[in-house]
Amino acid sequence: MQLSSLTNENMIFLNMSLTTKAEVIAKLVEALYDSGKITSKEEFTQAIYDREAISETGIENGFAIPHGKADCVKEAAFAVMTTEGIVSDWESLDPDNEVKHIIMLAIPKSEGGSTHLDLLATLMEKMSDEEYTQKLFASQTVQELYQNLDHEEQKEQKDIVYTKTIVAVTACPAGIAHTYMAAQALEKAGNELGVKVYVEKQGANGIEGKLTTEQLQEADAAIFSVGVAVKNEERFHHLPITKTPVAEPLKDAKSIINRALEKAENFEKGDFDSSTQTPEKISVGEEIKQAVMTGISHMVPFVVAGGMILAFAVLISQQFDLVEMYNTPGTWLNSFRLLSGGLLGTLLVPVMAGYMAYAIGEKPALVSGFAAGFAANLVGGGFLAGMLGGLIAGYSVRFLKKILPAKGAFSGFISFFLYPVISTLWIGLIMFFVIGEPVAWLNNALTNFLRGLQGTNAILLGIVIGIMTSFDLGGPVNKAAYAFCVSVMGEGVLLPYAIFASVKMVSGFAITLTTLIEKESYTTEELEAGRTTWLLALGGITEGAIPFMMKHPLQVMLSLCTGSAVCGGIVAISNIGLNVPGAGIFSMFLLDYSNTSVSPFIGSAVWLGAAIVGAIISTAILVPLMRKDRLKGKA
């Protein structure tokens, strides 16, 4: 690779009389600007100082690597400077480092996976080679240094006997300098110690040197030398992990490797979970499932926070006779009611749809994904419409990126203007004129159907509400049941919402029980999620079961609807009521017994017991169905 293609002799300065970091940065930025590599000196200077604020860019042996990512960078490049004296105010990883050799990297913000980035990565790896840097900075003229950039002597290869194996990840905020130099330092130190070190670099080029299943299985320990979060960290859970700042290997990589091996001696290595490996290419179905999981994982904290705040507000209003304050705009209790309502009613679906779109179309798809979720709220489509909108938004942006790639001088305009505007307009047309009408018709039809059941057999009403509540876990059918229960509550009919509130706990309880009993049918990620659905259920939150229904729709829907029908029938028999839209377990303290002779103790026990019985029935159906699929190789 020709490093000289990323610079020119006008961006190389030898034996300059500059003595401060600010002077050096200003001079190198000006050189990049004069050479047409950047369009704004001020913007790029700010990017350099933003990176300097994160961690030191001085390394050792007189070397410093300031670097910045910015939209003003037209193409990846670097400038070089040596100074006559020491740049005394340049902060370095090595406190004794006296900076005299500086290489400034300029990286386009939208750059990814290009030849230019490969060249910059090569430069950073070469900077870790002491022989290379000594020859480079011994150059007497600008022309000689320029030529020495691509000079590489043949080195004698020595046979090394490896006694241990370590897997490592390096990653820094900019994704260039420290990422590659840390990787080089770990590999070099490993060779000197007789330890084979496989390094995965998670940088501006994406993931390079991706660790294989065999490497992860055979490794004795793992090292994370990072300044950002490690991608797919679950792959390393079977290994002892030593974490360090990304720059630490540049100071003393050998001690890091020794610490990792010492940690491994006192660590019982677990079994490698092959399900944590992400295949290079996945099916559309698997991609959709991953997108749904991404949306759900970002949505659940909003559900928990909103549900709990609403529950406490309702409980306080009932127990302290503050119902009027609860309903009066401007009061503190009403404000918390509105806050929780905003989290649950306004933000929930947009957050889910936005991050589903993000999982497919990456950052440019966030805007249209959020717009899809907001539009789903406007058309009353609930979670199902939001999911569909999020998927459409994600794939729409991916298509736009394919036919209109963000490259060249207009890459910023394309990424930050065309992608969000075009995809948002498109998703608006789809949601309002294609999805909206059918969803509205379905909601009205289901609500009218439930109204027709009033005055007939209460058990039948309970069964139907139970089935509708768990049929789509927050979609149009669930929302129709909710709308009916709330509307008749205003008419003084309190039984339907008591049924609805109890049934909402069935799905979460059932999924937790199923994942505890039939562990072999679920991945590690699904088992972790399954352990928390019962907690969400206590808050009246059904969304925790959505990922499981998405993966096994018929099995989960059949089991949950059956258990929920039983739960609804039991609550209907008791004839207890609920006159406040409560949440989960807290509704037990707000039940109304005016239409029944059942005591509060018995009534609350029946109400909660109905959810538990429904969950047990659902589990009894779902476990054998999942086991059957697993034995057939489908689970």
pLDDT of residue 113: 44
172 given a catalytic annotation:
yes
Tell me the per-residue pLDDT of 514-538, one tens digit each, with 9 for 90 and over.
999 988 888 776 787 788 788 778 8
Q: Whole-model pTM?
A: 0.49
Instruction: For residue 58, give the nearest of 83, 89, 84 by alpha carbon.
Output: 89
pLDDT of residue 95: 79
Instruction: Name the band, by pLDDT with cuts 50, 70 and 90, for residue 152.
Output: low
Tell me the per-residue pLDDT of 229-252, one tens digit each, with 9 for 90 and over.
788 888 898 899 999 988 788 888
pLDDT of residue 344: 66
pLDDT averaged over the chain? 83
Instruction: Name the band, by pLDDT with cuts 50, 70 and 90, for residue 542.
Output: confident
pLDDT of residue 31: 95
Tell me the per-residue pLDDT of 11-70, one tens digit each, with 9 for 90 and over.
999 999 999 999 999 999 999 999 999 999 999 999 899 888 877 888 877 888 898 888
Q: Yes or no: say if 119 and 205 are a contact pair by the CB < 8 Å rule.
A: no
3-state secondary structure of 208: strand
**What backbone torsions phi and psi does residue 64 show, to the nearest 5 degrees?**
-140, 145
Tokens of 363: 């950052």
Percent of the chain scored above 70 by pLDDT?
Answer: 86
Instruction: For residue 494, give the nearest of 504, 480, 484, 479 by alpha carbon.
Output: 484
238 given a catalytic annotation:
no
Residue of 124 and 265 predicted with greater confidence: 265
Length of the chain (residues): 635
Maximum Cα–Cα distance across the chain: 100
Half-sphere exposure of 345 (CA within 13 A, CB side): 13
Tokens of 570: 């039991």
DSSP 8-state symbol, 521: G
pLDDT of residue 483: 74
Tokens of 580: 């406040």
Tell me the per-residue pLDDT of 442-475, one tens digit each, with 9 for 90 and over.
767 766 777 666 555 788 888 999 999 898 887 6
Residue 327 has pLDDT above 90, yes or no: no
Order of strands across the sheet with 221-226?
A: 206-208, 195-203, 164-171, 221-226, 241-244
Please return the burial class of 13, using the count of CB atoms within 10 Å of its CB with bins 0-12, 13-18 and 19+. buried
Residues whose CB is less than 8 angstroms from the CB of residue 181 and which lie 6 or more positions away in sequence, other chains included: 59, 65, 124, 125, 127, 128, 249, 250
Strands 101-108, 591-592: pairing kind: unpaired
pLDDT of residue 274: 59
Q: 15-19, 50-54, 139-143, 477-481: which has the minimum mean pLDDT?
A: 477-481
Q: Considering the candidates 101, 116, 151, 172, report the single residue annotated as catalytic.
A: 172
Q: Residue 497 is inside which H or E element, if any? A: helix 495-503
pLDDT of residue 15: 92
Q: Considering the candidates 67, 101, 238, 552, report the single residue annotated as catalytic.
A: 67
Tell me the per-residue pLDDT of 68-126, one tens digit each, with 9 for 90 and over.
888 898 888 899 999 999 998 898 877 788 999 999 988 887 654 454 456 666 776 77
Tell me the per-residue pLDDT of 559-603, one tens digit each, with 9 for 90 and over.
999 999 999 999 999 889 887 766 577 778 778 888 888 888 999
